[in-house]
Structure formats: structure tokens, C-alpha cells
Amino acid sequence: MKDERQKKTPFFTKLKEYGLSDITPFDVPGHKLGRLSNDLLDFIGLNTYLLDSNAPRGLDTLSKPTGVIKEAQALAAEAFGADHAFFLTNGTTGGIIAMIMATCRANEKIILPRNVHKSIINALIFSGAVPVFVKPDIDNNLGIANGLTFKSMKKAIDDNPDAVAILVINPTYFGLTSDLVQIVDYAHEKDLLVLADEAHGAQLYFSDLLPMGAITAGADIASTSMHKTGVSFTQSSILLTKGDRIDLNKIQSTLNMIHSTSPSALLMASLDVARKQMYFSAEEEIKRVLELKKEAVPRLNSIRGVQVLDESYANERGFLGFDHTKLVIKVSELGLNGFDVYRALKDRFNIQLELAETYLVLAILTMATIKEDLDRLYVALKTLSDEVYDHYDELKKIKFNYTFPETFVRPRVAYHAPHKIIELTDALGEVSAESIMIYPPGIPMLIPGEIITEQFLEDLAFYEENGSVIFSELNNGKIKVIDKDNWDKLEVYIDEL
């Protein structure tokens, strides 16, 4: 039975009313609700500008909600089965930084997989928490890192009785989910908080055909990108909490440190409306999309050189569940790598995939996916396969050995340590002072404090050759490393941090 109260969109409704109220605006934003025409306004229309206001009186305040934002957040919490929800206007990134800062003090330990998103590494720098990185399941045949199984998380918890929190990724970018109920129960038994990165998990709360959301499994707090696998505007996410282990005031005050004092009303309205839409329609729409996928997968698998990963992959790797909205396609047997296919699909067929890895590509399905999308993907992959399958040799085995470099100092120490900039060609054995990753997925190959290995340098060169977007502080073959000649200063920093 659906709750009729979820039909309300308190923030969006009030915002619309305000925009249409013929207000005389002597406040910011300076466009004064779209008074002056410009190229953007001409394209998107006046209504968007009418909603871009920042009027605390009547429209409530994100930093201390007491009115329509509070009401909208409460509806969101209920829709997700959480106790509290905080709207985020700087993505799950903001939620992750706030949840780690608010739960782990400097020098307290947090257990987490090493293949976390860069926002988590940055949260460790902000908070000073000490990461206990656990090696995730690594599949060298596919060249990907998966998540943590209960077994590996349990071992890490047992080995670190002084840790205060664990962090789980639910699901991983490639859709794998762990036995969260077991992990959460064990962590709680040992008095640890459970934090979840659910950047790819908003849909899990709205369909029984998908694995469980972290909050449903009992996690204390989860940062959830409504904009990725839900249907809200880019950059809008929700931070969810459950139970009484989390200090809500601390979360709010930490969010207030991170958020702009002028959060986007458009993004908040988008969250309000997306929550309603997902509450009432996601279940049906996801069912529809999964049926489409069921029809599409055998067709895709019939293409020579193409293979879609399914739940059996997750189970073989020791994971409990698989998020079927992820369409993970192994393409290496075409004789092409994932990057070639990603580029070809975009440049020749106008198909934008989510990401490429060496051996595979990832397409994300959401409640807004339609049959034509999958049909076009089939035609494009079939065309590529017909062109190349008989002509290419097996893909030259890339010396791909998914390893993570060793930690020399933790990210916060490396961030504060004296630095120098050197050529990448001289970097072997140095300690990085920056994060380097390909984007997407934004999971750092190297983080501040890790020792630069030959493997890292080779992998980076490989990604560069393949035209991946590399996120790093510097370009032109340079890298920021710890300046060991000033190591004595670093000792001071270590004591202080």
C-alpha cells in the first residue's frame, strides 16, 4: 500500500509558488528570477530561472531546516525506509565527506576497501581518520576490482579491534553486493559504525528485484546519489541515517561546513520531485527495464566476441547479489579493448556508455531506460563485431595485474608533508602526494602516501595511450611527491596530525 502523503512535494510546490508570486527581488541571485534574456534562458526557458531562488523566508534553509525542506527531507527518509534524510547539493561526495568527518575523529581507524572513490580519500584527509585498507576481490581476468566479502570484512574487523567504523560500497560500480546484513550485524556486535557509499545504489530502495539498500540492511548512514541511478538533477544526492548511533546534530553541522551557504533550490526541488516519482513509479519501471534486459541479454550474447556478466559472476566471486540495472559487457574477445569500444560507440553510433575498463564496458540502466536504447546498443555492438571479429587476433594480453601500491604514510600526512614536483620518469619508489585516477570511475590508482611502483607507471601509460580521462593535479608527465629531503619536517607533521 502506497502512502498518499508521498504525493506531496513540499519544497518544489513552495518554490514554484514563490517563483510565480510576482515578488520584488532585492536579494540574490542577481539574475532576479530571469529578468534579462540570455542564451541559456532562451534555451531552457524562464521557468528554470524562476525556480533558481534563494529566499530563506518561506523557502526554508538547508543548513537549519524547519519548514518545507524539513518536510521534504522527512518524506525522503520515509520513502527510503530511513529515519532521517539530508538533502545534498554537492553530490554523494559531500555526503561522504560529512559522514566520515562526523563519525571518525583524527587518528581513529576506519576499515574500508582500497578501491574507494576519491571523495573517500579526500574525506580521510579532512577528518584525519586512519584508513585500514582491505584488499578487495580482484579479478585479473577481467581487470577489475570488486568489493569486500563478509569473510574479508570480518577478518579486518577482528584484526583491528580499535577501529570505530567500517565503510562499504553498495553496490560496486559493476553491480556486486556483499552480504550486508551479515557485515552490519558483525560490525554492530563489535561496536563499529557502518557507513555506506551508495553512489550507485539509489534504485535498490525501490525494487524487490534488486539487492538490498544499505539502510535496509541496518547500516547507520548511507550517501546515495539520487542523480546517478535515480532520476534527479546531477549533483543532487541524499544522506540517509537509521537508528541512534549517529549524532544527527554533528552530521548537520558538518554538512554546514561543506555546503555552500547558497545551495541550489533547483537541485533540492529536483530531489523532492524525484523522491515522489521513485516512490510511486520506480518499482514498476525497474521491473519493466529488467524485463527488457532479460530480452536483450541473449541477443547481446549472441554477438560474436560479446558477453554480458550476470548474477552467476557475482556468486562465483563470493558475492551475495548483483544489481541487474548494471549492464556489464565483456568486449575483449572482439579483439578490442573496452576503451576502443567506448570510443567507437560514442563516435560512430552516438551511444554514451558509463565507462570503459580494459576488458569491458559498462552501461547503466535506470527506470528511464527504454527498449530503443537496448536495440541501438545491440545494433552497434553487432556492427562492430561483424567488422572486427574475423580480422583481429585475440586481444594482446595486457600485462594487467590489478594491484594497489603500498602505503608509506596515510593520505592526510602525505597531504601536509613537504612536496616537490618531479618527472614521472623519475618517480619510481617516490611517495605520491596526490591522487591519480581515470575518470570515470574516479577510483584512484594511486593515493597520497602510496609508494609509486613500476606497475602504476605502466598502468598509467596504458590508460594514457588509450585516451582515458586522467584526473591528476599535474599534467605533462609530472607528479607531486613527498620531498624526502625535508623529511624531518614531515616527522613534525606526523606527530601533530
Ligand X SMILES: Cc1ncc(COP(=O)(O)O)c(C=O)c1O
Residue 429: helix, strand or coil by DSSP? coil
Q: How far apart are CA 6 and CA 276, in angstroms?
A: 6
- Residue 32 CA to residue 247 CA, distance in Å, equals 38
Q: What SS3 class is residue 293?
A: helix
Nearer to ligand X, 233 or 280 (CB): 233
Please identify which residue in 131, 171, 442, 449 interacts with ligand X, judged by CB under 6 A: 442
Could you give the string, one character per residue 124-163, with x where binding to ligand X holds by CB under 6 A and - elsewhere? ----------------------------------------
Nearer to ligand X, 411 or 442 (CB): 442
Is 449 a residue that touches ligand X (CB under 6 A)? Answer: no
The C-alpha atoms of residue 169 and residue 306 are separated, in whole angstroms, by 27
CA 234 to chain centre: 12
9 vs 225, which CB is nearer to ligand X? 225
Between the CA atoms of 302, 304, 310 and 312, what dihedral angle is there, to the nearest 10 degrees? Answer: 100
When asked if residue 89 is in the footprint of ligand X (CB under 6 A), the reply is no
279: helix, strand or coil: helix
Site for ligand X in 20-79 (CB under 6 A): none
Question: Sheet harboring 307-308: ordered strands across?
Answer: 307-308, 326-330, 360-364, 355-356
**Pick 354 or 434: Cβ nearer ligand X:** 354
CB of 209 to ligand X, least distance (A): 22
- The CA distance from 183 to 177, in Å, is 11
Closer residue to ligand X, CB minimum distance, 145 or 157: 145
Q: Which amino acid, 129?
A: A
Closest approach of Cβ 2 to ligand X, in Å?
27
CB of 185 to ligand X, least distance (A): 24
Number of residues that bind ligand X (CB under 6 A): 14
Q: Which is nearer to ligand X, 93 or 241 (CB)?
A: 93
Nearer to ligand X, 19 or 147 (CB): 147
Handedness of CA 86, 89, 91, 95 (dihedral sign): negative
Q: Confirm or reject binding of residue 272 to ligand X (CB under 6 A).
A: no
- Is 405 an interacting residue with respect to ligand X (CB under 6 A)? no
Stretch that binds ligand X, among 89-97, 333-341, 351-359, 457-465 (CB under 6 A): 89-97
Q: Is 119 in the site for ligand X (CB under 6 A)?
A: yes
CA quadruple 256, 257, 258, 261: dihedral sign: positive
Amino acid 265 reads A
Q: Is 225 in the site for ligand X (CB under 6 A)?
A: yes
Q: Which is nearer to ligand X, 259 or 419 (CB)?
A: 259
Judged by beta carbon, residue 196 or residue 296, the one nearer ligand X is 196
- Least separation in angstroms between residue 95's CB and ligand X is 8
Using the minimum distance from each CB to ligand X, give the nearer residue, 282 or 438.
Answer: 438
Interface segment toward ligand X; rule CB under 6 A; list 20-28, 86-94, 344-352, 393-401: 86-94
- Grid coordinates of 162: 580499535
Q: If residue 300 lies in a helix (H) or strand (E), which one and from where to where?
A: helix 283-301
Residue 275 makes contact with ligand X by CB under 6 A: no
The interface region with ligand X, picked from 48-56, 91-99, 145-153, 461-469 by CB under 6 A, is 91-99
C-alpha cell at 178: 556483499
Determine if 441 is a binding residue for ligand X (CB under 6 A): yes
> Quick one: 327 or 384, whose CB is closer to ligand X?
327
CA gap 140, 402 in Å, rounded: 6
Give the dihedral sign, CA 453/455/457/463. Answer: negative
If one asks whether residue 231 binds ligand X (CB under 6 A), the answer comes out as no
Name which position in 146, 237, 325, 468 contacts ligand X (CB under 6 A). Answer: 237
Q: Smallest distance, Å, CB 440 to ligand X?
A: 6
How near is the Cβ of 441 to ligand X at its closest, in Å?
5
Binding of ligand X at residue 259 (CB under 6 A)? no
Report the C-alpha dihedral over residues 249, 254, 257, 263, rounded to 10 degrees. -70
Asked if residues 12 and 71 have their Cβ atoms less than 8 Å apart, the reply is: no
Give 222: exposed, middle or buried? Use CB within 10 Å, 0-12, 13-18, 19+. buried
- The residue whose grid cell reads 581518520 is 129
Binding test (CB under 6 A) with ligand X, winner from 60, 179, 197, 285? 197
Give the residue closest to ligand X by C-beta: 91
| C-alpha grid cell, residue 312 | 552467476
**Least spacing, CB of residue 388 vs ligand X, in Å:** 30
Q: Does 92 bind ligand X (CB under 6 A)?
A: yes
Cell output for 8: 506531496
Which one among 9, 53, 73, 93 touches ligand X, defined by CB under 6 A?
A: 93
When asked if residue 91 is in the footprint of ligand X (CB under 6 A), the reply is yes
CB of 136 to ligand X, least distance (A): 12
Q: CA-CA distance, 475 to 115, in Å (whole number)?
A: 23
Q: Binding ligand X by CB under 6 A: which of 14, 109, 114, 117?
A: 117
> Exposed, middle or buried: residue 323 (CB in 10 Å: 0-12, 13-18, 19+)?
buried
By CB under 6 A, is residue 199 in contact with ligand X? Answer: yes
What is the rounded CA–CA span in Å between residue 160 and residue 120?
A: 20
Residues found near ligand X in the complex (CB under 6 A): 91-93, 117, 119, 169, 173, 197, 199, 225, 237, 440-442
